[in-house]
């Protein structure tokens, strides 16, 4: 903030913003080039049960899981499917045709224009793929471009280095750590906070689009340039 604003009593106050409440996301599908997002439904249980096999370690920092039975997983899916916040989508891979993960928009605050991308679970076949990035990007772009939210949030257990690295890779800025703010599975959780603001979003969006573009894929199917490098290049070009 370069120009400080003061009220009639001489106290510094924040800048004016568009205070129009943002729309609440709808439970609708989204189609991508590599994946589709389908509103999470109990019919996805069989695919997801296959996807979670042998992946117990992935649930260490989540508030649920691992799942001992398919019925336990179905109960979790049914809870998601009945909720409007978090609002959950299943991730269907075009390559396999199967559901291979889920993610949500959550902590939806229309009056504050704040929304969180969270509850992200990516199955082993989807993890660290272009489809995984596209799945997250579809909801990021929906929240910021389609619905006009001003602040997009990413939160994770401060011990979850992989999640923190994923946030930074996508262009979320670190905001610090909330100490001992949650109890998860009977244990203290410190929460690492990240965000993208509306004025930052265009550079993040353009970098992800460039990374996903076929022009960035070499003959072996690997990205030619990393997402961070592309973002730095775009920022330098705009300076």
Size (the chain), residues: 239
* Burial of 126 per CB tally in 10 Å (0-12, 13-18, 19+): buried
Domains of the chain (ranges; CATH) run 24-198 (3.40.630.30), 199-239 (no CATH)
Other beta carbons less than 10 A from residue 81's beta carbon: 18
Count H helices and E strands in the chain, helices first: 6, 10
Cα 165 from Cα 175, distance rounded (Å): 14
Tens of pLDDT along the chain (239 residues)?
A: 457 899 999 999 999 999 999 999 999 999 999 999 999 999 999 999 999 999 999 999 999 999 999 999 999 999 999 999 999 999 999 999 999 999 999 999 999 999 999 999 999 999 999 999 999 999 999 999 999 999 999 999 999 999 999 999 999 999 999 999 999 999 999 999 999 999 999 999 999 999 999 999 998 888 999 999 999 888 788 77
CA 164, CA 74: separation in Å to the nearest integer? 28
Contacts for 155 with CB less than 8 Å, ≥ 6 apart: 116, 118, 191, 192, 193, 194
- The two tokens of residue 176 are 């610090």
pTM score, whole prediction: 0.95
Residue 179 DSSP symbol: E
Burial class for 194, CB neighbours closer than 10 Å (0-12, 13-18, 19+): buried
Cα within 13 Å of Cα(229), Cβ side = 6
């Amino acid at each position: 903030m370069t120009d400080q604003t003061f009220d009639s009593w001489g106290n510094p106050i924040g800048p004016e913003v568009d205070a129009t409440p943002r729309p609440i996301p709808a439970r609708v599908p989204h189609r991508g080039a590599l994946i589709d997002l389908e509103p999470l439904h109990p019919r996805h249980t069989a695919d997801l049960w296959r996807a979670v096999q042998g992946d117990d370690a992935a649930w260490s920092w989540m508030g649920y899981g691992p799942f001992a039975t398919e019925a336990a997983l179905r109960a979790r899916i049914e809870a998601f499917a009945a909720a409007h916040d978090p609002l959950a989508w299943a991730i269907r891979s075009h390559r396999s045709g199967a559901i291979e993960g889920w993610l949500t928009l959550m902590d939806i605050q229309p009056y504050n224009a704040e929304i969180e991308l969270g509850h992200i679970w990516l199955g082993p076949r989807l993890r660290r793929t272009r489809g995984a990035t596209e799945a997250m990007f579809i909801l990021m772009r929906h929240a910021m471009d389609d619905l006009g939210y001003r602040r997009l949030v990413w939160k994770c257990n401060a011990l979850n280095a992989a999640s923190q690295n994923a946030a930074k890779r996508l262009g979320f800025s670190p905001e610090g750590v909330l100490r001992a703010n949650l109890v998860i599975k009977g244990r203290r959780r410190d929460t690492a906070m990240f965000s993208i603001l509306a004025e930052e979003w265009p550079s993040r969006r353009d970098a992800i689009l460039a990374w996903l573009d076929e022009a960035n894929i070499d003959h072996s199917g690997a990205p030619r340039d990393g997402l961070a490098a592309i973002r730095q290049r775009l920022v330098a070009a705009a300076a």
